Structure 1
Amino acid sequence: MKLDDTDLCLLAELQRDAAAPLATLAVRCRVSAPTVLRRIRRLEQAGLIEHRVAILHPQRLAAAVGEGLQAIVELTLERQGAEFLQAFEALAVADPAVQQCYRVSAGPDFVLVVAVRTMAEYQALAQRLFTAHDNVRTVKAYFCVHRAKFDTRLPLPSTAAAAGESGATAGQR
Structure 2
Amino acid sequence: MESIVIDEADLRLLDLLQIDASRSNQTLAELAHLSPPTSLRRVKRLRQLGMIEREVALLSTDKLAPLLGHGLTALVEITLERQGAEQLDAFEARVVPAPEVQQCYRVSPGPDFMLVVHCGDMPAYLDLARRLFTSDANVRNVKAFFSLKRAKFDPRLPLHRSATKAGS
Q: Calculate the TM-score normalised by the size of structure 1.
A: 0.86
Work out the CA distance in 2 between the residues paired with 1:69 and 1:19: 29
Query: Could you tell me which of 39, 50, 53 is aligned with 1:50?
Result: 53
**Matched positions, count:** 159
The 5 A counterparts of 1:124-143 are 124-143=127-146
Larger mean CA deviation between 57-66 and 8-17 belongs to 57-66
Amino acid in the other structure paired with 1:85:
L
Amino acid in the other structure paired with 1:13:
L
Taking structure 1 as reference, are residues 67 and 147 closer, same or farther at Cα in structure 2, changes over 3 Å only? closer
Query: Could you tell me which of 150, 153, 161 is aligned with 2:153?
Result: 150
| Residues 80 and 140 in structure 2, CA contact (< 8 A), matched pair in contact too | yes
Work out the CA distance in 2 between the residues paired with 1:104 and 1:66: 31
**1:91 alignment counterpart:** 94
| Residues 61 and 70 in structure 2, CA contact (< 8 A), matched pair in contact too | no
Percent of paired sites with the same residue: 56
Work out the CA distance in 2 between the residues paired with 1:111 and 1:16: 27
* CA RMSD, 1 decimal: 1.5
**1:170 alignment counterpart:** none
| Long gaps (5+) in structure 2 | 163-168
**1:61 alignment counterpart:** 64
Matched, 1:7 2:10: yes
Partner SS state of residue 18, structure 2 = helix
| Long gaps (5+) in structure 1 | 160-173
Query: Could you tell me which of 65, 75, 78 is aligned with 1:75?
Result: 78
Amino acid in the other structure paired with 2:77:
E
| Residues 104 and 110 in structure 1, CA contact (< 8 A), matched pair in contact too | yes
Amino acid in the other structure paired with 1:5:
E
Partner SS state of residue 117, structure 2 = strand
Partner SS state of residue 94, structure 1 = coil
Ranges of 4+ aligned residues in structure 1 off by more than 6 Å: none
The offset of 1:73, in angstroms, is: 0.4
Q: Calculate the TM-score normalised by the size of structure 2.
A: 0.88
Work out the CA distance in 1 between the residues paired with 2:81 and 2:136: 10
